[in-house]
């Protein structure tokens, strides 16, 4: 299938995609963005709540390519016992064999960007004092 795109010239189309598969994936994500409620789950966890989430992979309807992972908040609870009870019920409803798709959200803070070190001065004559 890729052989029909060997002579594909991205400059002809001007949109920056290398083939029609990339174009279809991008348009599908524009039409229906990924459902990501992880920021909501993080904010609720910071408030001391226990959040039960459900995640699943999303594939393209056009060519079955992996587009990303969708995350939905299924419930917000005040105690961990309530969250674990709901977690067990959700896993049982899904058949009980897939433990990774339903889980209790753990807060994951964003890592700070690294600060670049100042350049080392080779010549001692360049010291400003």
More confident residue, 80 or 110: 80
Local confidence band at 104 (pLDDT 50, 70, 90 cut-offs): confident
For the chain, what are the domain ranges? 35-107
What is the spatial distance between Cα 54 and Cα 37, in angstroms, rounded to a whole number? Answer: 10
> Residues near 84 by Cβ (< 8 Å), separated by ≥ 6?
104
Residue 91 has pLDDT above 80, yes or no: yes
What is the spatial distance between Cα 9 and Cα 90, in angstroms, rounded to a whole number? Answer: 49
CA geometry: angle at 32 spanning 28 and 35, to 5°?
125
Half-sphere exposure at residue 114, Cβ-oriented, CA atoms within 13 angstroms: 3
18-52 pLDDT, tens digit each: 778 888 888 899 999 999 998 899 899 988 899 99
Q: If you average pLDDT over residues 114-123, what whole number do you get?
A: 76
What tokens appear for 128 in the block? 């400003």
Q: Which of 1-10, 27-36, 114-123 is the least confident region?
A: 1-10
């Amino acid at each position: 299938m890729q052989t029909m795109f060997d002579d594909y010239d991205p400059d002809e189309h001007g949109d920056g995609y290398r083939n029609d598969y990339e174009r279809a994936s991008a348009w599908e994500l524009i039409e229906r963005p990924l459902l990501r409620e992880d920021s909501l789950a993080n904010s609720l966890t910071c408030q001391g709540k226990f959040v039960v989430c459900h995640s699943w992979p999303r594939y393209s309807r056009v060519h079955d390519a992996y587009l990303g992972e969708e995350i939905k908040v299924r419930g917000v609870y005040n105690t961990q016992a309530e969250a674990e009870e709901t977690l067990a019920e959700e896993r049982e409803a899904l058949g009980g064999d897939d433990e990774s798709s339903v889980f209790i959200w753990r807060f994951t803070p964003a890592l700070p960007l690294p600060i670049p070190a100042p350049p080392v001065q080779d010549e001692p004559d360049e010291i400003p004092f």
